[in-house]
A and B are shown apart, each in its own frame.
Chain A
Amino acid sequence: MEAIKLESVTLEYKSHNNGIVRAVDNVSLSVNAGEFIALVGHNGSGKSTLAKLLNGLLIPRLGDVQIYGVSTRDKAKIFEIRKNIGMVFQNPDNQMIASIVEDDIAFGPENLGIEREEIIRRVEWALTKVNMLEHRKSTPFKMSGGQKQRLAIAGILAVKPSIIVFDESTAMLDPEGRREVLAVAHELNKNENITVILITHYMDEAINADRVIVMSRGRIVTDGTPERVFAQKDMLESLHLSLPLPTSIAYNLSKSGLDISENILSESQLEEALCKVLK
């Protein structure tokens, strides 16, 4: 089933000297329900604009964005879309509104007019999903970045979306926080069948996605499995994007003449390949 559909979407911004920057340039894209997609590209490539187009925070100038067949231009249905597609942003501090964890998580469903018993159930379920249930009565302000970000995710889960967009949600976190958030994203994708769009700068976070989409200058440059995308080293380099570290080591070794596959993404694959070639 098609969860997200973009048809020739174009959107421009005004730049500082009244010029026009085409942030998203004639992009067409289709995402099936249950997919885990990593969206990568350098700053200004249009990936965050694309994210904001998905839930109708921005409306395209040309083309159409549809979430489960509903266009974001349809003002009467915009709340239905926003219920369906949750966003987790970069800075966790900007996403907390209440001083007690469970109040914060309940904010979304409360606004939807859901009855109290159901809200309590959802808060508990959402906090369990992100491993934060024990903190339900605490205050978010003294928590680590990773914990806050998981609360932000729980707040979104409580609205029961079928799609979650992570817009560089790991960029401000330390390695531990990054791991926590990433694990939650994969868990939700696998066990709750939530469609995930993970926007990131860290190539290492993209290796476990079903699909990697690379954007540059508002266009989709390539779209495929991680193996296929990260095999295109020269293309990625020309876009100033790095390879995942294990891939880059394998690539350099292969250039030095070692018989090592270039299709290496993870650390364990690298180890295995090195063992084979050195044994």
Chain B
Amino acid sequence: MQGIEIKNLSYTYSKKTPYEKLALDDVSLSINEGDFIGILGHTGSGKSTLILHINALIKAQTGSVKVMDIDLTQKRPKPDLKRLRTEVGMVFQYPEHQLFDDTIEKDIGFGPKNLKLPADEIKQRVRESMELVGLDYNDFKDRSPFDLSGGQKRRVAIAGVIAMRPKILILDEPTAGLDPEGKEHILTLITRLKAEISPTVIVISHDIDEITRFATRLIVFNKAKIAFDIPMTELFKHEKELVAMGLEVPLAVRVARSLRSKGIELEGNITTPHDLENAVVDYYNKKHFDDKLNSPTNSVSITSNIKNNASGENLSIAYSDNSSATPNDNTISEKEVLR
């Protein structure tokens, strides 16, 4: 098994004290190799406690946690935590606070060095990790990590984690506190790391509009339990639940719902701004086409080419109509010029 298997996991902080707090309540979850997961939930909903279990930073109180073939809850023989932490890369919140060495090369090389890898292998990994996060090796290797901008520091910290070549990468609020450009860098980086280093990626975020952009599976935590675990494309079905939990609903979902409630039946699953834009353009063209149908030109098939700027691709939409009122061979193809 290459994924993560969690069964009936419960965890209580400060047990048997007045501050006792149930953080995870009988949570079961399986994560497969290749999953791109976004985890959403309020502060204190249990999401961080869950990922701490995956890296064995806290031990399960009840239930079981298995990461790849390592059973973290087994007593004897003890689970190989060193291997676990090589396989699971953890990028904590504000990872730049964990930078410590006086040069970037030494900081990133710290993990591989502890694995007792040969010196040239360490150097190779540092170089590759730096190139991956977009920092030129020769320019940056001898500089102090503390002289960098916030976004650059964060990339150095991430490079330190991926220098271990983890199979599973977990990031807790990876874009918090960054400016829009820094955010873009990190989001692009995460997608790239998934393709090149870590096939399984789990991202915790507060920003639903951000999660919908990359993750394909969404897990929502509420009050120590998993509220739902769905493919991202089904997000729009759960709008009411998100609102009830006090969580943000993506803007596109809200707008689409509001338009539908006013009789504008946009088609398809709308989660991202891009989905919304496409659905609106489709709807507009279709309406235009219907207007044409009722007009004396009797066009049956219109291929409209709309330059879609959101994606930069040409979006071709072909409508064919089976209405018997119009002869089938009378096919007119025309390039729709909107407006």
A→B interface (CB under 8 Å): 15-16, 42-44, 90, 144-145, 168, 171-172, 174-176, 201, 203, 240-242, 245-246, 248-249, 252-253, 255-259, 267, 270-271, 274-275, 277-279
Contacts and interface: CB of A to CB of B under 8 A. Distances in A.
22 contacts: A42-B179, A43-B182, A44-B149, A144-B43, A172-B176, A174-B43, A175-B247, A201-B179, A240-B179, A240-B184, A245-B273, A252-B308, A253-B277, A253-B280, A256-B306, A256-B308, A257-B339, A258-B281, A259-B339, A274-B255, A274-B264, A279-B264
Nearest to B309: A255
Contacts of B252: 249
B283 interface: yes
B248 A252 contact: no
Contact of A171 (B42, B176, B281, B306): B176
Contact of A90 (B42, B143, B177, B206): B177
A253 B259 CA distance: 15
B181 A271 contact: no
Given A16-B147, A42-B182, A201-B180, 18 more contacts: A43-B182, A90-B177, A168-B177, A172-B176, A175-B207, A175-B248, A240-B184, A241-B180, A246-B251, A248-B273, A249-B273, A249-B277, A252-B308, A252-B310, A258-B280, A267-B254, A275-B264, A278-B283
Contacts of A274: 255, 259, 264, 280
Contacts of A245: 209, 251, 273
B276 interface: yes
B255 A267 contact: yes
A257 B287 contact: no
B338 interface: yes
B251 A257 contact: no
Contacts of A44: 149
B284 interface: yes
B181 A42 contact: yes
Nearest to A177: B43
B231 interface: no
A16 B280 contact: no
Interface of B: 42-43, 143-144, 147, 149-151, 176-182, 184, 206-207, 209, 246-248, 251-252, 254-255, 258-259, 262, 264, 273, 276-277, 280-281, 283-284, 287, 306-310, 337-339
Contact of A271 (B43, B248, B258): B258
A43 B307 contact: no
A249 B276 contact: yes
Contacts of A267: 251, 254-255
Contacts of A90: 177
Closest 5 CB pairs of A and B: A257-B338, A16-B147, A240-B181, A255-B309, A174-B206
Contacts of A240: 179-181, 184
Nearest to B147: A16
Contacts of B248: 175
A176 B259 CA distance: 25
Contact of B151 (A15, A43, A257): A43
Contact of A256 (B149, B259, B277, B287): B277
A225 B200 CA distance: 45
Contact of A258 (B182, B207, B273, B338): B338
A176 B45 CA distance: 14
B146 to A, nearest CB: 9
Contacts of A242: 180
B309 A275 contact: no
Contact of A253 (B182, B251, B281, B287): B281
A246 B287 CA distance: 23
A158 B264 CA distance: 51
Contacts of B262: 275, 279
Given A201-B180, A259-B339, A175 B309 contact: no
Contacts of A42: 179-182
